[in-house]
Structure formats: C-alpha cells, structure tokens
Amino acid sequence: MTVANLDDRATITRLDPHGLLARIEALPEQCEVAWRNAVDLTLPERYARARNVVLLGMGGSAIAGDVLRTLSVQSGSKPVSLVRGYDLPASVDEETLVVACSHSGNTEETLSAFEQSLAAGAMTLVVTTGGRIAELATDAGAPVFSYQYDGEPRSSLGHQLMALVAVGERAGLLEPQEDAVAEAVTLMRAQRRQLGFESPGSKNAAKQLAARLRGKIPVVVGAGVLVEAAYRWKTQLNENAKCWAIAEQLPELDHNSIAGFGLPDASQLHVVFLRHAALHPRLLLRYEATAGALAEAGVSHETVEALGMSPLAQVLTAIYIGDLVSYYLALLYGVEPSPVAPIDTLKTKLADS
C-alpha cells in the first residue's frame, strides 16, 4: 500500500472529501465563539444551590463532561459524576443538578437517563443541537443550551465544553474561567501554526508522531487533568484513524499494567505520555520511572508536553495535538477519517430491535 504524503494537498482531496481537517483545525475558533455564547447562559438561581452534579453523555458528547468533572476536582466543593449509560444513580433527587449532553439530541442512553432525572424531580439542563432531548427539556421547562454545528459529534467538543465550563462557574464547580479560555485559544492557535497541515512534515511534530504510530497499537497515558486528554486521544484514534488504541492513567498504571509490559509482543506497542510540569511532583517521578520500565521491556515510548498555566489550557492543548495526530494517522492508513460506519451500523441494528 502506498503511504500518503502528509504534505500533499492532493492527499486531503482524495481521503477527506467531507472536510474533517478544517473542523479539527478550527477548534480554537469554535471554543472562542462557543464561550461567548455560553457566558450569556442564564440558569435558575436554585441551580447554584445544587448538592451535587450528574453529567450525562455518550461517545463524543461525554468527553466535555469528563473534562468538567476533572477540572471541578481542583476547585469545586460539590461532587460531580458522569453517567455513560442508561440509568441514573439512585441518589439523584430534587437537590441534584443533572446536565445532559447529546449532540444529536437522540442518543438513546442519554435520553433514558434524562427521562429518569425528570421523574426524580432533579434540576435539569440540556446541551444539544436539538432532537428529542430538547423537546423533553422544553416540555419540562428546563433550560436548553442549543448550538448549531454541521459536523461529527466528536468535532463539536468546543461547543459542549464551553457550555459545561460556563455551567460549572454558575454552579460553584469552577473558579472564573474567562482567562483560562483565552489562554487555551491563544495556545491552540500557536499549535496550529506548528502542527497544522500547512506545516511541513520536516518541522511538524504531529505528523512525525503519526508516522511513528503507523503499524503500532497506540497506548496513551495521562495523569491528573490529562487523563481525560489521554482518553480523547484514544477515541479520536479509534474514530478517525480506524485503529485500536488504549488509554491508561498514572498512577494506576503502575499498580497493574506495568506487570505486563513485556508480553505478548512489546514491539506492537507505542506509548505516548501526556505530561505537564504542573502535575504532582510524585506523578512526574512516576512518568520517569514508568518510561524506564518500558525501555527495559523493549516498548517504544515518547512524551508530549501539554501547554499553559491553567488546567483548561493544559487539557485542550493536549487534546488538540491528539486530534491532529489521529487525522494524520488516518491519512497514513489510507482511510477516510470522517465516517464511522461501524457505529452507524450498530445504531441502526439497535433501533430496529
């Protein structure tokens, strides 16, 4: 199979007729616009008095919830949980704020859990482009943060995350995030100049990393807020490059996975550590020690540094490079990155059941 030339615009014309590259590269602007819209979001005053927060979402619509949950650990005073499935925790009641994210508004798992939240009398909010979930929320008198986006659910991260960050501020989960959003946007734009398609492979770290991942099983490792970035890398590699990928987290990895580094064939793996100097000092030591154990087991590995002073900027810059790497790897595999036929096929089968 001929390997695609990552510097040739003809490669994009041939393999990306639906224009996913443009949507990936536009994440900084998407976040900027979405934040301007999100800061105008008004919520009932009682929502700020919620005892706990439960986020609902699946697939690409759950990643924003993952990030909010992790950010809230650092500055929030209320427990936040994320439900990826059909059923709510039994503890949800009228003092719980339930926020449902569904790009289409028709995700069956999220709809099921959201209907349960209405029955439980919870305070509710929906983030969506429309669909059945918007109808349910409107009928119940619940706020709906509606956005318009012509693209894949996984490409609408900025819209959903900025809405949740704004909700997080109002619900007492986060400190003011205006400066953090501005920092993240500025840094992602700088990344685009260095890592975007117009940057040649000889100088482009994302294209170079994609080449090293070709033919390997990527294992992406994060810690702290970068755990969610590692999971985003995994799902983007799955959906864009159509390949297997694994997400791990420190320090948990050092209590189980490390025992299996050498088998069955370490040469099939390539580990990518997502790191930032602001992580806990003991975590930084674990990155070094774990890399040493991988080297002893013959597992190739490297480190990608997140950028920024704020946790939001750190997670978004780590996500941004991962999105680009997954796109370039799709081109190297000769696959069209946008469609996800197996997911669509499975949804159709379930709808007919």
Q: Could you tell me the pTM of the whole model?
A: 0.95
Active-site residue (options: 29, 78, 95, 347): 347
Judged against a pLDDT cut of 60, whether residue 11 lies above it is answered with: yes
* DSSP letter string, 149-186: --S-GGGGHHHHHHHHHHHHHHTTSS---HHHHHHHHH
Active-site residue (options: 109, 152, 239, 248): 239
18 catalytically annotated = no
Q: Name the one residue in this structure whose structure tokens are 């793996």.
A: 269
Region 156-164 average pLDDT: 96
Is-contact 270 219, C-beta < 8 A? yes
Backbone phi, then psi, for 59, in 5-degree steps?
55, -135
248-265: pLDDT as tens digits? 999 999 999 999 998 898
CB atoms within 10 A of CB 5: 12
Q: In the structure, what pLDDT confidence band is assigned to residue 130 with cuts at 50, 70 and 90?
A: very high
Q: Which residues pair with 100 in a beta bridge?
A: 56, 126
Is-contact 217 67, C-beta < 8 A? no
Considering the chain, tell me which residue range(s) the CATH 3.40.50.10490 domain(s) occupy. Answer: 24-176, 183-333
Is cis: bond before 17, omega within 30 of 0?
A: no
Judged against a pLDDT cut of 80, whether residue 77 lies above it is answered with: no
347 catalytically annotated = yes
Q: Name the one residue in this structure whose structure tokens are 């305070």.
A: 123
pLDDT score at 342: 78
Q: Which two tokens stand for residue 165?
A: 């960050």
Least confident of 54-63, 69-78, 81-90, 307-316: 69-78
Buried/exposed code over 274-288 (b: 16+ C-beta within 10 A; e: otherwise):
bbbeebeeeebebbe
pLDDT score at 76: 66
What percent of the chain has a predicted confidence (pLDDT) above 70?
99
Least confident of 68-77, 95-104, 142-151, 179-188: 68-77
Closest listed residue to residue 217, CA positions, set 288, 266, 290, 273: 266
Judged against a pLDDT cut of 70, whether residue 269 lies above it is answered with: yes
183-218: pLDDT as tens digits? 999 999 999 999 999 999 999 999 999 999 999 999
* Arithmetic mean of pLDDT over the chain: 94
pLDDT score at 2: 59
What topology is assigned to 183-333 in CATH? Rossmann fold (3.40.50)
- For residue 188, what are the contacts with CB-CB under 8 A and spacing of at least 6? 27, 28, 31, 316, 317, 320
Is-contact 120 88, C-beta < 8 A? yes
239 catalytically annotated = yes
Judged against a pLDDT cut of 80, whether residue 347 lies above it is answered with: no
CATH 3.40.50.10490 fits 24-176, yes or no: yes
